[in-house]
Amino acid sequence: MLRVGITGGIGSGKTTVCRVFETLGVPVYYADTEAKRLYAENKALKSALLDTYGPQVLENGEINTLFLRSVAFGSKDDADKLNNLVHPFVFEHYENWCASHEDRAYTLKEAAILFESGSFRRLHRVVGVVSPQELRIERVMNRDHCTREEVLLRIQKQMSQGELATKCHYLIHNDENHSIVEQVRELHKFLLSDSLQTWPFMT
């Protein structure tokens, strides 16, 4: 089973693109959603977060994901520390998920950070979703009901789209000139044939 990562900056349209892959029957592992589920269900992770951040990490006895988001978008050191803590749990969960999909030609792992977290090393291929910055800002403002400045701050904390483009094997352009459905269909055909080969993990 070919492991394909899919990543992109905030509001680039990763999740939207993954939904299109799902209509073609491709299983998608949504890393951020699974991490949130693990915060709630995995006692070892919850207690590691509590040990590190103290009671401020809890709200009504549950992990406060808004607090963690502010840490993730805080200083690089804070973000690294959080990722180093959470990543092994998500990694193990993802490995189990992959084992239950071994019969598939390929699967997708959607994550906002694949290169920064090092998790690309357990993937064979990475797809990047890119979108014009203005469109990303507008979409996130509408989706999250936040200000332009807040979106810009989050964009500035992430890898630039130019750098991302140099690291990915394939790019999907989610702008108003290209159909994402057509691009996904083409890539799907390609990945089905790609998976006939045995690729090493990325380094």
With residue 109 as reference, give the H or E element that holds it. Answer: strand 106-110
Q: How far is the CB of 44 from ligand ATP (least distance, A)?
A: 26
Pick 3 or 14: Cβ nearer ligand ATP? 14
Q: How far is the CB of 14 from ligand ATP (least distance, A)?
A: 4
Q: Tell me how far apart the alpha carbons of residues 198 and 191 are, in angstroms, rounded to a whole number.
A: 12
Pick 36 or 169: Cβ nearer ligand ATP? 36
Q: How far is the CB of 61 from ligand ATP (least distance, A)?
A: 26
SS3 assignment, position 157 = helix
Q: Which residues form the interface with ligand ATP (CB under 6 A)?
A: 8, 10-16, 112, 139, 143, 174, 180
Q: How far is the CB of 200 from ligand ATP (least distance, A)?
A: 28
Pick 12 or 42: Cβ nearer ligand ATP? 12
User: Residue 40 class from Cβ within 10 Å (0-12 exposed, 13-18 middle, 19+ buried)?
Assistant: exposed
Pick 45 or 130: Cβ nearer ligand ATP? 130
Tally of CB atoms within 10 A around 192: 14
User: Are the C-beta atoms of 131 and 138 separated by less than 8 Å?
Assistant: no
